[in-house]
Structure 1
């Protein structure tokens, strides 16, 4: 008797979608899993009303139980410090809404454009500079994507499309296929860049089908992962990155310099080492964007430069990311120097 089994491509996609569906959204559940006492976080729990908690199980499994200062836990756990109204912090620190030309498009740069594929993320990082962004006005569906495609078609100076969000890999593989094929039909486009944190929190997202989509594309493809701490890198992530490398994808990483998480030159050196071991080249180390609710993550400019100088002395030049900040209205990122 012939037993029909499920298509492996469908099964693979359902796997990451199931993990996503079961992501933790209740901070009390997260505390229980990590053996952390609720009484120590009573005020912090209220911050979920400002920005929802969301973290998938694969990322939680990398956290140290019983450690309230675990660097991965601190990135996702709501904090009472999010209620602080710090001077110079705003809901739109990069003034991106001024560049929101049509739905799902941020045209901030001359030859490249941000395409906001999806508004949601698999993980809600508390320092996210788009935690207040009006995603409802930028729906991630084919109708709004077509408006963005029409805009790109009209602007022939655009050479590179940057998939952003939210997280663009929240789109399913068949949706990405639809979108990338239409971008390929625009002759002035040369490159596709994908900014994502999803493989870091759900490595299973890097499906064989997704790799095949990118490998077959005529567009030169770059993936920029968002990894802030060496503890985020494990064997599952390494395997996912190997699949992408085998598909010919260039892998870069950008980090955010975060107080209490990676504001230490040795930690950053370890991060660069582990990134390079799995085939990712350090790209940018960003100074914090001053978004309301994240002031407790800020590392001052003088301290940032001191950390950066020490990092330069600890490792090879090609393993030192560029220290940069994004300034609203500027045509490119600003490299931070003395």
Structure 2
């Protein structure tokens, strides 16, 4: 079955997902589901434990009434990305690199997503708009890295990806192509031979920053796909989010780092939650985050300890959280 068909057959309501998991459908919020649509590929749902309402994968994607809470200091644009939105589809916030919202959809909708309210309708460049993006990249010779984000950039077709990569290759000062993607974790079927050929053939350095929050997300198919990406020349890193009720205990974080490494992925960042409207129930107090991080440092070698960090609007870089 093609990856597009698999994606099309994803769960698109929390009620459907709960029925599949043999759980009471009353747990889900219809209102929250309408505001931010559920989307969960079957292969990801199959890694959830049936009849377990506290499953760490389920809790990342289940629409609940908690999302209706209007918590103080939580906004639709917590990182103020629209202020760095120089062109439709282009965010230039940090020196030397730009981020492109290459697609507007993801294979999975995570309830804590900091872009759950992002105005994608205003950031669809269209064919003419992408020409302006390329012109912008050509003119600013301080840019050496292009980050494809979204949505999820790997949901673009092979033809679109290949054509865009070829355009980037013509810009001499661009050396690194980075993908921010959850696809190898949640829809490994997308990593096809054709896509691997495209990645392998580019002269650009390739970095893939994956997003995995719990070791249960990593099965044998994900491991195989990560091996294939490594063989295609991709450096694999992971950024996780510290989420209350999902991975905010030391065993979960230790197992995550070890399981990532077993898949050929280096832990990169452990993010504090971005304060996006609808996600306050996932937040963990800073004092607890620091305590967990100290325990993590004591239990793992340095190369398996991700950087504890948060993003603050207007800063020139991520803020690393000290001990």
TM-score (ref. length: structure 1): 0.94
In structure 2, list runs of 5 or more residues that go unmatched: none
Q: Deviations over 1:39-76 (max 9, x none)?
A: 344xx232112211111101000000001110000000
Q: Quick one: which of 255, 263, 270 aligns to 1:278?
A: 263
Which residue of the partner structure matches residue 150 of structure 1?
135
Deviation at 1:38, TM superposition (A): 1.8
Length, aligned pairs only: 323
Deviation at 1:334, TM superposition (A): 0.7
Which residue of the partner structure matches residue 35 of structure 1?
22
Q: Does 1:22 align with 2:25?
A: no
Which residue of the partner structure matches residue 171 of structure 2?
186
Deviation at 1:125, TM superposition (A): 0.2
Indicate conservation of the 8 Å contact 1:224/1:254, yes or no. yes
Using a 3 Å threshold, how does the CA distance of structure 1 residues 203 and 140 change in structure 2: closer, same or farther? farther
Partner secondary structure for residue 62 of structure 1 = coil
Which residue of the partner structure matches residue 56 of structure 1?
41
Partner secondary structure for residue 118 of structure 1 = coil
Indicate conservation of the 8 Å contact 1:83/1:293, yes or no. yes
Q: Does 1:322 align with 2:279?
A: no
Partner secondary structure for residue 277 of structure 2 = coil
Indicate conservation of the 8 Å contact 2:27/2:64, yes or no. no
TM-score (ref. length: structure 2): 0.98
List structure 1 runs of 4+ shifted beyond 4 angstroms: none
Q: Quick one: which of 246, 268, 278 aligns to 2:231?
A: 246
Q: Distance in 1 between matches of 2:272 and 2:25?
A: 32
Q: Distance in 2 between matches of 1:190 and 1:81?
A: 43
Indicate conservation of the 8 Å contact 2:88/2:125, yes or no. no
Q: Does 1:230 align with 2:187?
A: no
Partner secondary structure for residue 102 of structure 2 = strand
Q: Quick one: which of 100, 117, 135 aligns to 1:115?
A: 100
Q: Distance in 1 between matches of 2:92 and 2:268?
A: 22
Q: Distance in 1 between matches of 2:156 and 2:123?
A: 14
Deviation at 1:208, TM superposition (A): 1.2
Q: Distance in 1 between matches of 2:237 and 2:253?
A: 15
User: Greater shift after overlay, 14-23 or 110-119?
Assistant: 14-23
Q: Distance in 2 between matches of 1:164 and 1:51?
A: 19
Q: Distance in 2 between matches of 1:189 and 1:150?
A: 13
Partner secondary structure for residue 3 of structure 2 = helix
Q: Where in structure 2 are the equivalents of 1:1-338 lying within 5 Å?
A: 15-41=2-28, 44-139=29-124, 141-338=126-323
Q: Deviations over 1:128-159 (max 9, x none)?
A: 00000000011264333222111111111100
Q: Distance in 1 between matches of 2:126 and 2:227?
A: 30
In structure 1, list runs of 5 or more residues that go unmatched: 1-13
Deviation at 1:82, TM superposition (A): 0.3
Indicate conservation of the 8 Å contact 1:183/1:189, yes or no. yes
